A and B are shown apart, each in its own frame.
Chain A
Amino acid sequence: MRIQKKMTGFLVLLVFFFSFMGSLVPSAHAAEANKTYVIGTDTTFAPFEYQDANGDFVGIDMDLINAIAEDQGFKVEIKSLGFNAALQALQSGNVDGVIAGMSITDERKQTFDFSDPYFEAGPMMGVAADNDTIKSYEDLRGKRVAVKVGTEGATFADSIKDKYGFTLATFDDSSQLVDEVKAGGSVALFEDYPVLAYGIQQGNGIKTVTNKEKGGSYGFAVNKGQNPELMRMFNQGLANLKNSGKYDAIIAQYLGSVDAASGADIGGEAAAKKSRLGLIWESMPAFMTGLGYTMFYTIVSLFFAFLLGLLFGSMKVSHNKFLRGIATVFVDVFRGIPLLILAFFIYFAIPQAFGFKMEVWMASILALALNAGAYVTEIIRGGIQSIDKGQMEAARSLGVPYGNTMRKIILPQAIKVMVPSFINQMVITLKDTSILSIIGLVELAQSGKLVIARTYQTFDVYLTIAIMYLIVITILTKIADRLERRIGRG
């Protein structure tokens, strides 16, 4: 009995000792000078974070976190993940903190710890610069108003729309709101104040006529109960910046006037407008990088699609009912799901359901490869079945096994039949990469969106991007034609 008690006591002591040691380790770690924290952020949410002409991430959030890090003596590594992905990464511990123009809400407080507010946002109305009829909410009666999905602006507009008798048109993108209003589809837009102010400063052709509404404030977030050291340093650093005037300088750099309350003044001194050609020229490096990624993702996805197609294509022409069934299901499923939904499913749904993190590039390649793989399967099946079955019989009658016959007799002939369809699929996949910009994949279309988010030059940018796609696809098709003729002759 006594011995047993002693043993138990010893064990308890041991457990305490190790848990104590365990708790010591991270705090000892955190105290280390110049520790590097990984900070997640959105891909583009001007003026808080966006890529400048050099492809560097800038914006209020970026400048703030860097200034705070410098003030407090730690280092940051910025990961541009997209808003939802950044929050997921924070929960799974892949990043230490998130700064992404995130409103502090009670819901989010359940999951995250927030810093002191570093920015007072709130919705604000904007109208076209040449519009003299809309001067207050009263003037909106019977008109249409544009909002961006999920913003405070949308919530606010929804709350007053019955009172003032207007209807809402909902969009996904800030630049779409601006275009909608400039094109006259809607008479006004409701947007979060900083986004609106930044756009006006960029000379997007919008002006404000009313004051900013009271709204939420933005905070820096860490996972609940974790990284208290980082949170303490952020709050301390923020206070220091506000005292030193550095905070105001950063805000002014992006929003022009700091005096948000008198919103009507903002954007009074719009940045000197660059020439249209100059803007495109300046954005060209970003576009070329985007184009490079587009080509890269196209090639990699097609490579895997080809492997998938070869596997399932051979299964589809096999005599085994079971294998044929599997291949048919593969084709039906991935040909039947729109690429957009497939991308959402792979990037958002599956990682959330199974609690792991998926990189954007990986999700994109998977989605493209599975989608194209279904089509390539059908191309390969069709190609193989287009070859006279006498070819198979002739080789088999000589004693050549099925696999060898497939490789040496059927496929070399079938490939000639398949080449035009492959070229077609290549063009489709290259264009389809642009769909993946919706989950934040950096490629040509996304590069364009990023530039538009910064400059609001919708027409010029999309025209340039469209021409770039056109040129690349035309060149590739010409090369493929030449290749096809050479194969055809051989």
Chain B
Amino acid sequence: MDKIKVTGLKKSYGSNEVLKGIDMEIGEGEVVCVIGPSGSGKSTLLRCLNLLEEISAGKVVVDDYDLSDKNSDINKIRENIGMVFQHFNLFPHMSVLKNITFAPVELKKMTPAEAEKQALALLERVGLSDKADAYPASLSGGQKQRVAIARALAMNPDVMLFDEPTSALDPEMVGEVLGVMQDLAREGMTMVIVTHEMGFAREVGHRVIFMDGGYIVEEGTPEEVFGSPKHERTISFLEKVL
């Protein structure tokens, strides 16, 4: 059973076509890393998977919900798709605990007490038990991103989307965030990760997708893509980043 199925996806901003026809299937529990030069459309593709970007043409089905269908309840679908952003986007006016409990309580998934209990468990999982009452402004980048992951997990999603989760971090903080993600992958979470961390992609990813110019140019296991890239553009990209 495919968790995510994308067929003929196109996305344009005015006359500028960013995605030019994407076909992609992601199975349950699969960890897919999307790599490629900037401007290749990889972030846009990710944002189409929870409709942060409107879809210009084609079809995106997540968990049997058709996102391209105007009648589908997008809020319902999003509850099941967690997202982690490059710039964390924590709510600065709420404590760490409140950041995590906000959505489950607001959407009446849990009572405040249940949500708090869960939030504390999640904070322990990302190694930030002592930061429950802190405000985002007092956290380091790595801590912020771990809170953001906990916040996304609070809705108990089936799928997690990561949009360059370590790009805005100081190098010494990348490890702690990747560590949390690696744990998550091991637990069987379906994950789509747009990343520049080739080492992580090779180590954790089940599959690697290389995008360029709005197309998926090449995909395969990390060994295939990193070990013996077939396409010329993949080769030149990897030469530059590795």
Contact = CB atoms under 8 A, between A and B. Distances in A.
Co-complex (A, B): yes
A400 B103 contact: yes
A128 to B, nearest CB: 65
A409 interface: yes
Given A398-B79, A400-B75, A400-B107, A391 B89 contact: yes
B106 A400 contact: yes
A388 interface: yes
Given A398-B78, A398-B151, A401-B75, A388 B89 contact: yes
B50 interface: yes
A395 B52 contact: no
Contacts of A391: 89, 91
B102 interface: yes
Contacts of A393: 52, 83, 85, 89
A393 B52 CA distance: 7
Interface string A370-400: 0000000000000000001011011111111
A399 B78 contact: yes
Interface residues of A, number: 17
A413 interface: yes
B152 interface: yes
Contacts of B70: none
B82 interface: yes
B85 A398 contact: no
A397 B102 contact: no
Interface string B194-218: 0000000000000000000000000
Interface in B50-78: 50, 52, 75-78
A413 B91 CA distance: 9
B50 A397 contact: yes
A396 B79 contact: no
Determine the main DSSP class of A at the interface with B: helix
A391 B90 CA distance: 7
Interface string A218-262: 000000000000000000000000000000000000000000000
Contacts of A404: 106
Contacts of A398: 78-79, 82, 102-103, 107, 151-152, 155
A412 interface: yes
A395 B93 CA distance: 13
Contacts of B90: 394
A186 B237 CA distance: 87
A404 B78 CA distance: 15
A408 interface: yes
A397 B93 contact: no
A399 B89 contact: no
A393 B102 CA distance: 14
Contacts of A408: 102, 106
Nearest to A415: B93
B164 to A, nearest CB: 13
B93 to A, nearest CB: 5
A395 B103 contact: yes
Contacts of A409: 91
B14 to A, nearest CB: 16
A396 B152 CA distance: 11
B92 interface: yes
Interface string A357-374: 000000000000000000
A390 B77 CA distance: 19
B92 A413 contact: yes
Contacts of B52: 393, 396-397
Nearest to A402: B75
Contacts of B91: 391, 394-395, 409, 413
Contact of B103 (A388, A399, A412): A399
30 contacts: A388-B89, A390-B89, A391-B89, A394-B85, A394-B89, A394-B91, A394-B151, A395-B91, A395-B102, A396-B52, A397-B50, A397-B52, A397-B81, A397-B82, A397-B152, A398-B79, A398-B107, A398-B151, A398-B152, A398-B155, A399-B76, A399-B80, A399-B155, A400-B75, A400-B106, A404-B106, A408-B102, A409-B91, A413-B91, A413-B92
Interface of B: 50, 52, 75-83, 85, 87, 89-93, 102-103, 106-107, 148, 151-152, 155
